Structure 1
Amino acid sequence: MEAIVQEVVKPEDLKKFEQRFNEQCLRGQPSATAQFEYAWCLVRSQSPSDLRKGTLLLQELFHKTADETAKRDYLFYLAVGHTRLKEYEKALKYAKAIQQVEPGNHQAREMTAYIEKKMKKEGLIGMAIVGGAAAVAFGALAGLGVALAKK
């Protein structure tokens, strides 16, 4: 799953699909395929604004289609996009939504486990940072107390 989440789009691919999408927008409504391909590129971008734009395009597609297979793909890449944005709660919601409809979906189970692992890892890192900051603050207060006691 790491390879899928960490995959980065080639700039020339992003440009190609963006151009196709924009051309179709100028002529009216873009096709679902053009919108999906562009969104798929955006969620593999390193730019947070591209990631956000990609997730918005995928959400729009999800709400417009009745095709269950397409919905599953949109949900999966919504999970990828939100994972890349470190919006793990949202990512988990999308991965679990796939599992609600397809309990045996191996890819959705792997994505859920991957997101939960990232949440735990970052939660522990966050706790370590808070703990380290608390130790520094306690040390500073103790030092201040000693300095005041000497006066």
Structure 2
Amino acid sequence: MEAKINQFFGPIVTFINGGDQLPWCSPDIVVGCEKEVADATTGASDEGKNESIMRLSWALVHSKQPQDVQRGIAMLQASLANSSSPLQQREKLYLLAVGFYRSGEYSRSRELTDQCLEIAPDWRQALSLKKAIEDRITKDGVIGIGITLITIGLIAGGIVASLVRRK
């Protein structure tokens, strides 16, 4: 019986929750990256510091904790102006897009993904993220339409019920 229920409701749950392929990051990895950044600020070269900050930014925007995602977005926005190469800019834009995607700001995420694709039109990660964003926007629209139709149905049902009671 449970298998039949899962067979019926499984696709519905997957549809509602979304099925993006972006990795998640554990709190342990975030803590490890924070320690690495702290160690790099004491004796590493600027390049070493920047690499450890990028790893921390990656971990933060891939975290399941919303406050971590917001920290990652803030770090990336602050460092975006300091990008010395198109490759660095592309990476930071992509991570920002992931952060905005994780925080539910899909239109901002799509804008940043499009900027990534201007730099590297065939970059598979950005193309995959763009598809996930578009799928999510479509799903949210379908869910919104469904909620609207249910609301209209309930209101119409209430009106019909009140009319039937009057007669």
TM-score, normalization: structure 1? 0.82
The answer (yes or no) to whether the contact 1:36–1:57 under 8 Å persists in 2 is no
Considering only aligned residues, what root-mean-square deviation do their CA atoms show, in Å? 2.5
Output the amino acid matched with 1:8.
W
Q: Say whether 1:65 aligns with 2:83.
A: yes
Structure 2 residue aligned with 1:125: 143
Structure 2 residue aligned with 1:51: 69
Distance in 2, matches of 1:67 and 1:26, equals 25
- The 5 A counterparts of 1:1-151 are 2-3=20-21, 5=22, 7-22=23-38, 31-147=49-165, 149-150=166-167
Give the percent of matched residue pairs that are identical in Structure 1 and Structure 2. 23
List runs of 5+ in structure 2 lacking aligned partners.
1-18
Output the amino acid matched with 1:136.
L
Secondary structure (helix, strand or coil) at the match of 1:65 reads: coil
The answer (yes or no) to whether the contact 1:44–1:81 under 8 Å persists in 2 is yes
TM-score, normalization: structure 2? 0.75
The answer (yes or no) to whether the contact 2:86–2:119 under 8 Å persists in 1 is no
The answer (yes or no) to whether the contact 1:32–1:61 under 8 Å persists in 2 is no
Q: 1:125 to 1:25 in 2, by over 3 A?
A: farther
